[in-house]
């Protein structure tokens, strides 16, 4: 069985971070814009972006509604990276 390409390093009510296994400087991150702890069923706007060394890749940020939306966008970014490499995160 092969190792996953992405490793989840953080998953809280306000942040989700996935790190690339072979290039740990490459991450996909999502943050609750309201920066307050909320119940998982509450909705809020989330910022989702690919990042290199913790800095967002230009043109990559997306604003989505709720943690479920953030998880869905992260999945799309991982697939885009698989197809087009770093350009898929833009």
Separation CA 87–CA 15 (nearest Å): 24
Global pTM reads 0.84
Q: How far apart are CA 19 and CA 5, in angstroms?
A: 9
Q: For the chain, what are the domain ranges?
A: 6-82
pLDDT at 89 (0 to 100): 78
Please, which residues have CB within 8 angstroms of residue 81's CB and are 6 or more apart in sequence? 20, 28, 50, 88, 89
User: What tens digit of pLDDT does each residue of 15-53 get?
Assistant: 999 999 999 899 999 999 876 656 656 678 899 999 998
SS3 content of the chain, % helix, strand, coil (to 5): 25, 35, 35
Question: Percent of the chain, pLDDT > 90?
Answer: 47
| Spatial CA neighbour of 33 closest among 17, 50, 46 | 46
Query: Would you state the pLDDT for residue 56?
Result: 81
């Amino acid at each position: 069985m092969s190792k996953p390409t992405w490793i989840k390093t953080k998953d809280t009510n306000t942040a989700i971070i996935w790190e690339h296994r072979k290039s740990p400087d490459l991450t996909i991150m999502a943050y609750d814009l309201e920066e307050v702890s909320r119940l998982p069923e509450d909705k809020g706007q989330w910022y989702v972006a690919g990042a290199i060394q913790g800095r967002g890749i230009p043109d990559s940020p997306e604003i989505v509604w709720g943690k479920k939306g953030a998880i869905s966008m992260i999945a799309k970014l991982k697939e885009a990276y698989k197809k087009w490499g770093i350009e898929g995160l833009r």
